[in-house]
Amino acid sequence: MLGDVHLSAIYVTPYQRNRQTAQPLATLLHDSLTVVNSIDSTVACLRSKHYGQSVLAVGHSNTLPQIVEQLSGQKIAPFTEGDWDRLYVLTLVPRRPASVVLLRYGARSR
């Protein structure tokens, strides 16, 4: 889905599943993965380094809602076991909350 997007960075957690999710895209784009160890470090990097850029952050059902909320001030619906198809697009503007758009990809599991 993101193969034609120019990404400035790809952020992942240290966990193998996140790296495995992002690695094919990183390989296709000749990019590397940036490993972040916490929600706070992910949010800080996105806020300080990437205004006006496209960045992919791959997370977990217990981390992505917090990242979206910290960047936008919006709560998102909790993930359930079948929620593997969410793609949140956040637009960051200096000194303002991010805007959020939810996209879905692939076939719905329900």
Domain boundaries, the chain: 9-104
pLDDT given at position 107: 59
Cα–Cα–Cα angle for 93, 96, 99, rounded to 5 degrees = 65
Mean pLDDT per 10-residue segment, the chain (110 residues): 87 91 92 92 89 88 91 90 85 86 73
pLDDT given at position 108: 57
Q: Model pTM? A: 0.82
pLDDT given at position 50: 86
Q: Cα 8 to the chain's mean position, in Å?
A: 13
